[in-house]
Amino acid sequence: MGREHIFIIAEIGINHNGDLDIAKKLIDWAVLAGCDAVKFQKRTVDKVYTKEYLDSYRESPWGTTQRAQKEGLEFGKADYDEIDRYCREKGIEWFASAWDTEAQEFLRQYDLKHNKIASAMLTNDEMLEMVASEGKYTFIATGMSSYDEIDHAVEVFRKQNCPFELMHCNSTYPMPKEDANLRLIPVLKARYGCKVGYSGHETGRIVSSSAAALGATSIERHITLDQTMYGSDQAASLNVRDLVRLVEDIRLIETILGDGEKTLSSKELETRKKLRGC
């Protein structure tokens, strides 16, 4: 058994508020912290939401309808072209969770190594089949989902021989720490015979650090420049300084966990010689 590298994903999501400069600052912090990847969310607004919903009232920095708010949070091709270029320049991977097939098709133009099935998409067969058909390593979030629903998603990916990793997740924003139920991580590993990560929406670092100690093979956390900024995900996000601390915690936990082999270190052998005489 070797030491496992925990894949750390800084979820920018929609916390950029449609501002490319904010997105770049968050990418910079993810690089500085030592994250393995940053992640975004991509939606085709008219496919994900009904016209009635989009026409309804919502006050936001972009206007007074749900459409104005949703479109204000979406990056287009020029934005993603620059994100792709910037991430390559900074030496960090990026990928995104698509919320509809058109958005997934959009992401195919970039040379991304990973896909993500958001918890909300786990029961969307069209999305499952489309993503699995690409054959890219896929993180599958399991928030709001029953075993039967997870069973079905896993079956789709295994039928297409698409590599995947489940992510234990509780879809509340922010999640009360007492709802984390981290003991489910080894249970999911045993049930599905696959790697299991953790996608968190809590405040602070202790839950995510504990998930790493319980064997999570990936950790995904939303990040923000300021938790008081506009946006539904900001309060459930790590500020960038806590992101740096969390990555330090996780890398230390990797070392603490060791490789699972029973060996005597040179220092322990010295102590043995003193205390046992051999």
pLDDT number for residue 54 = 95
CA angle at 132 for the pair 127 and 136, rounded to the nearest 5°: 125
| Cβ pair 10, 39 in contact under 8 A | yes
Provide the pLDDT for residue 256: 93
Confidence band of 2 (pLDDT split at 50, 70, 90) = low
Q: Cβ distance 205 to 245 under 8 Å?
A: yes
Q: 216: which residues sit within 8 A by CB, 6+ positions away?
A: 6, 168, 185, 196, 197, 198
Round the average pLDDT of the chain to a whole number and report it.
96
Q: What is the pTM of this model?
A: 0.95
Domain 7-276 is classified in which CATH homologous superfamily?
Answer: Aldolase class I (3.20.20.70)
Using one digit for the tens of pLDDT, what is the confidence trace for 96-152? 999 999 999 999 999 999 999 999 999 999 999 999 999 999 999 999 999 999 999
Rounded to 5 degrees, φ, ψ at 60 are -160, 175
**Of all helices (H) and strands (E), which one includes residue 125?**
helix 125-133
Q: Tell me: pLDDT of 3 over 90.
A: no
